[in-house]
């Protein structure tokens, strides 16, 4: 059974940093692109980052480019999101998601909440 | 960036009725190379993570009931839910996976009368 379990969320002050983790199991992690998608409270979905199978290629929207870094450790079947210079508008539930070749995101974690506030 | 415009923002129907949700993209999502449309639909039930329903515009994800039907091509797409059931209460989102940055529609809230 595919499982994606996020951790590392919490309350952080504006301008500070936070690192999210996602532990994957039930599939060959190194064979899949992975991604982070977020959802602000009572709002819609926003794609945040994608990483290739080897980690050599990463993709970001302008809203987080230069502040967020996605990475992975295939030996540990783990995905990460380093978030720097956090802003109040980064407050959201962050989901780890798996990307299949012909579809965007076929499995999602349960999400982890990040609150950016002083 | 490709802008995804979804409508309606909400709707309320009785069980057994048919629902249609529309999604329009600002650019074509049709690949000239393989003639596939890179459009997906997700369902998000209250308090849960999103679930993939449809990808490549009309391919139903494994395990998704056949009352969920995706259609459309180019820039105009539709999710049809036939014979709506109480368990279909959820938010529905379209998403383009044609090019980065991947973008989502603003969502449609489906309520059951």
- Tens digit of pLDDT at every position of chain B (113 positions): 999 999 999 999 999 999 999 999 999 999 999 999 999 999 999 999 999 999 999 999 999 999 999 999 999 999 999 999 999 999 999 999 999 999 999 999 999 98
d(CA A110, CA B6): 25
Q: Which of A45, A48, A50 is nearest to B94 (CA)?
A: A45
Residue A4 has a pLDDT of 98
Structure tokens at B14: 């009785």
Residue A60 has a pLDDT of 97
CB contact A73 to B (< 8 Å):
no
| % of chain A beyond a pLDDT of 90 | 96
For residue B91, the chain A residue with the least C-alpha distance is A44
Tell me the pLDDT tens digit for each residue of A37-84.
999 999 999 999 999 999 999 999 999 999 999 999 999 999 999 999
Q: Select the residue from A57, A65, A92, A104 to test the B interface by mutation, using most B Cβ atoms within 10 A.
A: A104
Classified as helix, coil or strand, A37 is: strand
Q: Which of A12, A2, A11, A14 is nearest to A96 (CA)?
A: A2
Query: Are B96 and B106 within 8 A, CB to CB?
Result: no
Q: Which of B51, B25, B41, B50 is nearest to B81 (CA)?
A: B41
Number of A to B CB contacts under 8 A, please give it: 61
Q: Cβ contact (<8 Å) for B55 and A108? A: no
A100 pLDDT higher than 90: no
Residue A95 has a pLDDT of 98
Residue A103 has a pLDDT of 76
| % of chain A beyond a pLDDT of 70 | 99
Residue A81 has a pLDDT of 98
Nearest to A103 among B40, B49, B51 (CB): B40
Place of tokens 């480019």: A65
Taking contacts as CB-CB distances below 8 angstroms, the residues of chain A near B60 are: none
Confidence of residue A24 (pLDDT cuts 50, 70, 90): very high
User: For residue A29, what are the CA distances in angstroms to A56, A79, A90, B40?
Assistant: 15, 9, 27, 22
User: For residue B109, what are the CA distances in angstroms to A26, A94, B4, B17, B42?
Assistant: 32, 21, 16, 16, 12
Residue B28 has a pLDDT of 97
DSSP B30: B
Q: Cβ contact (<8 Å) for A102 and B40? A: no
Cis bond before residue B46 (omega within 30° of 0): no
Q: Cβ contact (<8 Å) for A45 and B52? A: no
Within 10 angstroms of residue B102's Cβ, the number of other Cβ atoms is 26
Confidence of residue A101 (pLDDT cuts 50, 70, 90): confident
Query: Are B99 and B1 within 8 A, CB to CB?
Result: no
Q: Where are the alpha helices (DSSP H) in B1-113?
A: none
According to DSSP, the residues that pair with B20 across neighbouring strands are B80
């Amino acid at each position: 059974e595919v499982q994606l379990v996020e951790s590392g969320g919490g309350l952080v002050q504006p301008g500070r940093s936070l690192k999210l983790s996602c532990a994957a199991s039930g599939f060959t992690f190194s064979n899949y692109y992975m991604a982070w998608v977020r959802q602000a409270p009572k709002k819609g979905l926003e794609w945040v980052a994608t990483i290739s199978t080897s980690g050599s290629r990463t993709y970001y929207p302008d809203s987080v480019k230069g502040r967020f870094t996605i990475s992975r450790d295939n030996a540990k079947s783990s995905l990460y999101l380093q978030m720097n210079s956090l802003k109040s508008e980064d407050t959201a539930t962050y989901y780890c998601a798996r990307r299949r070749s012909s579809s965007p995101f076929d499995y999602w974690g349960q999400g982890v909440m990040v609150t950016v506030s002083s | 960036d490709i802008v995804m415009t979804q409508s309606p923002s909400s709707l309320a129907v009785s069980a057994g009725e048919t629902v249609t949700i529309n999604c329009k993209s600002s650019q074509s999502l049709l690949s000239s190379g393989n003639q596939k449309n890179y459009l997906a639909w997700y369902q998000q039930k209250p308090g849960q993570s999103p679930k993939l329903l449809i990808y490549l515009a009309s391919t139903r994800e494994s395990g998704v009931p056949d009352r969920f039907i995706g259609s459309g091509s180019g820039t105009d797409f539709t999710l049809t839910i036939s014979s709506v059931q109480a368990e279909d209460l959820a938010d529905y989102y379209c998403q383009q996976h044609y090019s980065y940055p991947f973008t989502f529609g603003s969502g449609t809230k489906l309520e059951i009368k």
